[in-house]
């Protein structure tokens, strides 16, 4: 703040620096959109390891291509991923399992007494539609019997039930849709700590007793235990508060107002089964495209802060169900263009479909690639395709080899290359090995690659000693006949990295006085960022003047633009092009002749 000069002497005034450091954004956050049998469906979930994915989405599943793609991503060096789970949008199907834990009961207990040591288990199991069973604990036909030693307690509990009025069962909802919740088991017991006599621990009200709640997923063994829980909504141990962070169940919002009236369960109930088809995988393209306005389907990625690579592993399965992918691929590519990301497209099944029962030859494959392009137009500059599919062992089938789409593997290779060399390095060559890949579905020779590379198809091949590697680094605008400036994938990814970094790093410029002091500060900060990239080897040239340009002065900011509140900043860079073709000229030298 300005110094108020009131007396002769020395004053200290801190002047704000014009240095505002621009930090580079992440370059290898992969987004996966597809089916998983469990997990949140209303938002993308950020995971940083395969263990995180297993915890939230259930690990590998044979009917989930996305699970294998994420597994291969982390196996090949990936570190950050955004997962979008897609579910079937069927209004006739109840896709959320309900687990009853109690009836709405009221009973009077003697002052200072505690509830009887009853135990209740609510197990969610598949059953015929409309079937419901509620058997009191200890009665014949119930799921949980009462031992003979507990006969007095069971008798007391039964008399309490008969004296109370029973209403609709109080239910817990599964935390996310899907049939995984049919294996949930909820157990309640009264083995709680007794209140201390000296008042150090306040005893709960006798009308709202304390109980223990154990929720177990019999599918993967995950168990959540909540001890000393009460139905008092004002208590810090309230059931509502405790289940707020549960990964298995949540409270039904429609029954939240009944929470204070519900007593611990003394009945055994069976969950309502899901209706509809047993296969809950989405079968419609509309489930994947979703709505941009409502941010559903692939557009859930609009809720993320940043992602750099998009993979749709379910495309192959959708093609097998005769789904037209044009709309999904177009909207996904448009989303990537808007968010400055790269779309890794899996090769269409039509490229390698057998003809008359015989395998497709490479000349036929090239004709199919040219006649059935994946993406066309300007959106293709933010997309790349890799061919063929990879053969990798399936842990769920005893290590048997299966073909998989290559997008998950290549997303991991991109992430590993970014860490080791930088985003400007082409994710190809002998360093771009495919971890976990045993072989390739179609073995390609140099001649085969020479036919596919000029049309913008990145090939995967097997090299002696190196094994399966990526052997191409072009975008879908990389066909030679297009002569596009965004022909190479590393050049495009470097440009997107610079654009996103400068977009986020220059927000402070907005509403600043538009004159030379601001322009000088812009040149200083952007120049420092570009010089850092130059020193890391991201650009061509021996000097900064040859490698990049930052211009923001009166020449490109005329008075007319200043009057309209516009600041023009021009940034140019000389990208490194990958050395696709290495030519070694060998010549035999004649002997030195004395003349």
Domain boundaries, given as residue ranges, for the chain: 30-89+283-491, 98-269, 510-595
More confident residue, 383 or 591: 383
User: Are 103 and 314 contacting, i.e. CB atoms less than 8 angstroms apart?
Assistant: no
pLDDT band at 333 (very low <50, low <70, confident <90, very high): very high
List pLDDT tens digits, range 149-162: 444 433 333 333 33
What percent of the chain is modeled with pLDDT above 90? 48
Please provide the average confidence, as pLDDT, over all residues in the chain.
81
Report the pLDDT value the prediction gives residue 314, as an integer from 0 to 100.
Answer: 92
| Confidence at residue 278, expressed as pLDDT on a 0 to 100 scale | 59
pLDDT at residue 284 in the model: 83
Q: In angstroms, rounded to a whole number, what is the distance separating the alpha carbons of residues 173 and 562?
A: 58
The yes-or-no verdict on residue 144 having pLDDT over 50 is no
Alpha helices in 290-379 (DSSP H): 315-320, 326-339, 362-371
Place of tokens 């259930």: 58
Mean pLDDT for 12-27 is 89
> Are 351 and 357 contacting, i.e. CB atoms less than 8 angstroms apart?
no
Query: Does the structure show a pLDDT above 50 at 165?
Result: no
Do 392 and 401 contact (CB within 8 A), yes or no? yes
Strand blocks (E) in 104-209: 120-123, 134-136, 169-174, 184-189
Least confident window among 341-345, 434-438, 489-493, 587-591? 587-591
> Residues near 472 by Cβ (< 8 Å), separated by ≥ 6?
386, 428, 449, 452, 453, 457, 458, 459, 460
**Two structure tokens written together for 352:** 């390698």
Positive/negative CA dihedral, 98, 103, 104, 110: negative
Facing residues of 460 across strands?
470
Flag whether pLDDT at 307 surpasses 80.
yes
User: DSSP characters for 33-79?
Assistant: EE--SSS-SSS-EEESSHHHHHHHH-S--TT-HHHHHHHHHHHTT--
Higher pLDDT, 47 or 364: 47
Determine the average pLDDT of the residues in 347-356. Answer: 80
d(Cα 22, Cα 111) in Å, to the nearest integer? Answer: 67
111 has pLDDT over 50: no
- At 243-293, the pLDDT tens digits run 888 888 888 777 666 666 666 555 444 455 555 555 678 878 988 999 999
- pLDDT over threshold 90, residue 488: yes
Selection from 184, 271, 246, 186 nearest residue 220 by Cα: 184
For residues 353 and 152, the model is more confident at: 353
pLDDT score of 531: 96
Query: Among 205-214, 418-427, 445-454, which is the least confidently predicted range?
Result: 205-214
pLDDT for 104 equals: 39
* Cα 294 to Cα 61: distance, rounded to the nearest angstrom: 29
Q: What is the pLDDT of residues 427-460, one digit of tens each?
A: 999 999 999 999 998 888 898 899 899 989 999 9
- The predicted pLDDT at position 276 comes to 54
pLDDT at 151: 42
Highest mean pLDDT among 125-129, 145-149, 324-328, 335-339: 335-339
Percent of the chain's residues with pLDDT above 70 = 78
Per-residue pLDDT of 293-303, as tens digits, reads: 999 999 999 99
Residue 182 has pLDDT above 50, yes or no: yes
Of the two residues 120 and 494, the one the predictor is more confident about is 494
Residue 173 has pLDDT above 60, yes or no: yes
Cβ neighbourhood burial of 531 (10 Å; 0-12, 13-18, 19+): middle
For residue 214, the surrounding DSSP H or E stretch is strand 210-217
pLDDT at 389 (0 to 100): 92
Q: Of 409, 339, 335, nearest to 25 (Cα)?
A: 339
Nearest-angstrom CA–CA distance, 433 and 471: 10
Question: According to the model, what pLDDT value does residue 90 have?
Answer: 60
Q: Where are the alpha helices (DSSP H) in 456-565?
A: 489-505, 516-536, 544-547, 559-563
pLDDT on residue 148 = 41
Distances (CA, A) of 234 to 205, 240, 324, 389, 512: 12, 10, 54, 57, 49
Give the residue carrying structure tokens 């309209």: 564
What is the model's pLDDT at position 117? 46
CATH T-level topology, domain 30-89+283-491: Rossmann fold (3.40.50)
Reference 369, options 388, 341, 344; nearest CA is: 388
Query: Which of 14-28, 30-44, 130-144, 356-370 has the least mean pLDDT?
Result: 130-144
pLDDT at 176: 83
Let me know the angle formed at the C-alpha of 456 by 453 and 458, rounded to the nearest 5 degrees: 60
Residue 422: phi and psi, rounded to 5, are: 125, 160
Residues 553 and 550: their CA atoms lie apart, in Å, by 10
Task: Say if residue 141's pLDDT is above 80.
Answer: no
Q: Return d(Cα 38, Cα 47) in angstroms, integer.
A: 15
* pLDDT computed for residue 350 by the predictor: 79
Look at 208-212, 377-381, 579-583 and tell me which has the smallest mean pLDDT.
Answer: 208-212
Distance of CA 202 to the CA centre of its chain: 44
Instruction: Render pLDDT for 385-406 as a digit per residue (tens, 0 to 9).
Output: 999 999 999 999 999 999 999 9
Secondary structure (H, E, C), 385-450: EEECCEEEEEHHHCCEEEEECCHHHHHHHHHHHHHHCCCCCCCCCCCCECCCCCEECCCCCHHHHH
Q: What is the pLDDT of residue 168?
A: 57
**Which pLDDT value is given to residue 216?**
83
More confident residue, 134 or 417: 417
Residue 230 has pLDDT above 90, yes or no: no
- The length of the chain in residues reads 595
- Please say whether the beta carbons of 344 and 33 come within 8 A: no
Local structure of 484: helix, strand or coil = coil
Give the mean model confidence (pLDDT) for residues 557-561.
Answer: 96
Give the residue from 377, 300, 368 showing the smallest Cα distance to 337: 377
3-class DSSP state of 216: strand
The C-alpha atoms of residue 251 and residue 258 are separated, in whole angstroms, by 11
Confidence of residue 503 (pLDDT cuts 50, 70, 90): very high
Q: How confident is the model at residue 320 (pLDDT cuts 50, 70, 90)?
A: confident
């Amino acid at each position: 703040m300005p110094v108020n000069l009131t007396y002769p002497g020395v004053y200290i005034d801190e002047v704000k620096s014009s240095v505002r450091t621009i930090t580079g954004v992440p370059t290898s956050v992969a987004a996966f959109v597809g089916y998983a049998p469990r997990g949140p469906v209303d938002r993308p979930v950020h995971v940083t390891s395969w263990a995180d994915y297993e915890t939230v989405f259930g690990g590998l599943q044979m009917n989930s291509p996305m699970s294998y793609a994420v597994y291969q991503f982390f196996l090949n060096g990936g570190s950050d991923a955004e997962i979008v789970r897609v579910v079937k949008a069927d209004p006739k199907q109840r896709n959320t399992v309900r687990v009853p834990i109690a009836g709405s009961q009221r009973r009077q207990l003697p002052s200072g007494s505690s509830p009887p040591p009853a135990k209740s288990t609510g197990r969610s199991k598949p059953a015929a539609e409309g079937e419901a069973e509620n058997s009191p604990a200890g009665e014949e036909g119930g799921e949980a019997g009462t031992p003979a030693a507990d006969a007095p307690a069971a008798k007391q509990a039964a008399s309490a039930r008969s004296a109370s009025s029973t209403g609709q069962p109080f239910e817990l909802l599964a935390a996310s849709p899907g049939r995984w919740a049919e294996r949930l088991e909820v157990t309640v017991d009264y083995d709680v700590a007794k209140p201390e006599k000296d008042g150090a621990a306040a005893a709960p009200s006798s009308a709202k007793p304390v109980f223990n709640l154990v929720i177990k997923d019999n599918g993967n063994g995950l168990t959540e235990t909540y001890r000393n829980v009460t139905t008092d909504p004002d208590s810090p141990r309230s059931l509502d508060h405790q289940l707020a962070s549960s990964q298995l169940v949540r409270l039904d919002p429609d029954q939240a107002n009944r929470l204070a009236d519900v007593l611990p369960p003394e009945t055994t109930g069976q969950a309502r089964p899901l209706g509809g088809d047993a296969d809950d995988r989405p079968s419609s393209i509309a489930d994947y495209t979703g709505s941009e306005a409502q941010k559903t389907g692939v557009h859930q990625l609009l809720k993320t802060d940043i992602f750099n690579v998009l993979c749709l592993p379910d495309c192959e399965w959708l093609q097998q169900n005769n789904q037209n992918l044009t709309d999904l691929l177009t909207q996904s590519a448009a989303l990537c263009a808007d968010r400055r990301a790269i779309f890794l497209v899996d090769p269409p099944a039509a490229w390698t479909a057998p003809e008359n029962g015989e395998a497709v030859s490479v000349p036929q494959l090239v004709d199919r690639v040219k006649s059935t392009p994946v993406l066309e137009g300007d959106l293709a500059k933010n997309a790349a395709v890799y061919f063929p599919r990879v053969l990798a062992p399936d842990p769920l089938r005893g290590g048997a080899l299966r073909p998989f789409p290559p997008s998950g593997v290549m997303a991991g290779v991109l992430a590993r290359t970014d860490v080791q060399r930088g985003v400007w390095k082409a994710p190809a060559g002998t360093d771009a090995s495919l971890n976990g890949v045993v072989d390739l579905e179609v073995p390609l020779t140099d001649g085969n690659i020479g036919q596919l590379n000029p049309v913008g198809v990145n090939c995967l091949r097997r090299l002696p000693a190196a094994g399966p590697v990526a052997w191409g680094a072009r975008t879908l605008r990389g066909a030679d006949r297009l002569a596009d400036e965004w022909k190479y994938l590393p050049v495009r990814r470097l440009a997107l990295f610079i654009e996103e970094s400068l977009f986020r790093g220059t927000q402070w410029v907005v509403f600043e006085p538009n004159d030379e002091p601001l322009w000088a500060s812009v040149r200083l900060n952007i120049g420092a960022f570009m010089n850092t990239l130059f020193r890391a080897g991201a650009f061509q040239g021996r000097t900064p003047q040859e490698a990049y340009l930052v211009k923001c002065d009166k020449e490109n900011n005329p008075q007319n633009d200043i009057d309209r509140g516009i600041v023009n900043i021009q940034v140019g860079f000389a990208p490194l092009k990958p050395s696709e073709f290495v030519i070694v000229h060998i010549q035999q030298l004649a002997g030195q002749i004395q003349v």
